């Protein structure tokens, strides 16, 4: 089994890194390139950048900051935010991104996933999933970057993830919305259900607050990696120490 990945997530608005709680009340936490360089130096395996309001504002993300990051770091990174066409995805990859992540635009037009996988390979296509429990089941939410447009699609999370992978998505990032920013642990049962449903890597997102939470999601759910934001941005957890701890728990890590 490949080494587990530790992935800082950087939510971006107006070229700045921001962080909220349960997708609301975002605060500015710093310059995008400074954060990218810090995480590269600390040993992050990958980075993910989300332009959180692009889809809700019916625009694509800003290619300028992708180029700035691509010039500075030498670890893989994915970008997301309003990518609705092959041409926009190509511009992101040409600017230096290694992967593109699609969420709301893929819900608008599922054929987009297959088009990107055909032209760039499934390894470049990540499905972002914003999932929230309702009536004992999990459902997909759309346009979560803006409170006034966020909505429950009524689409069952498992059904959508299976369809998207069948269409060519090569990785899934599962954002458990109720856990976002609250630091009480990943939703292990939900992550495990997604892992069992699809044959591609699944990255857990939402809920990291202690090193034990990373250990639990990697050992108990089968996730290929763990994504987090607040604990890294606020220096509550330091990546080198986290990797040492996880390795001591028998989890293979990249050093």
Q: List, by residue number, the catalytic residues.
A: 11, 130
What is the spatial distance between Cα 113 and Cα 101, in angstroms, rounded to a whole number? 10
**CA 103 → CA 75, 80, 130, 180, 255, distances in Å?**
23, 8, 8, 17, 31
- 10 Å CB burial of residue 34 (0-12, 13-18, 19+) is exposed
Q: How far apart are CA 99 and CA 5, in angstroms?
A: 15
DSSP β-ladder status, 171-176 and 151-156: unpaired
Strand partners, 47: 77
Task: Rounding to the nearest 10 degrees, give the CA dihedral for residues 113, 116, 122, 125.
Answer: -70
């Amino acid at each position: 089994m490949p080494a587990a990945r530790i992935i800082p997530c950087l939510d971006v608005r107006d070229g700045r890194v921001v962080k909220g709680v349960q997708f609301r009340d975002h605060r500015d936490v710093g310059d995008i390139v400074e954060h990218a360089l810090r995480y590269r130096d600390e040993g992050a395996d990958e980075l993910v950048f989300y332009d959180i309001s692009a889809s809700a504002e019916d625009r694509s993300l800003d290619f300028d900051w992708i180029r700035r990051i691509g010039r500075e770091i030498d670890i893989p990174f994915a970008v997301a935010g309003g990518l609705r066409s092959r041409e926009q995805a190509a511009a992101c990859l040409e600017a230096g991104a290694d992967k593109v992540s699609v969420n709301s635009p893929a819900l608008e037009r599922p054929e987009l996933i297959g088009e990107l996988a055909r032209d760039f390979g499934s390894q470049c296509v990540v499905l972002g999933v914003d999932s929230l429990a309702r009536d004992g089941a999990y459902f997909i939410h759309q346009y979560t970057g803006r409170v006034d447009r966020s909505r429950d699609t009524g689409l069952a999370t498992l059904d959508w993830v299976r369809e998207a992978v069948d269409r060519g998505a090569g990785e899934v990032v599962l954002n458990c919305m109720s856990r976002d920013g609250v630091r009480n642990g990943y939703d292990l049962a939900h992550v495990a259900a997604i892992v069992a449903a699809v044959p591609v890597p699944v990255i857990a997102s939402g809920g990291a607050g202690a090193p034990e939470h990373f250990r639990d999601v990697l050992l108990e759910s089968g996730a290929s990696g763990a994504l987090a934001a607040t604990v890294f941005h606020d220096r509550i957890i330091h990546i080198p120490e986290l990797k040492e701890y996880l390795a001591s728990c028998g989890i293979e890590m990249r050093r």
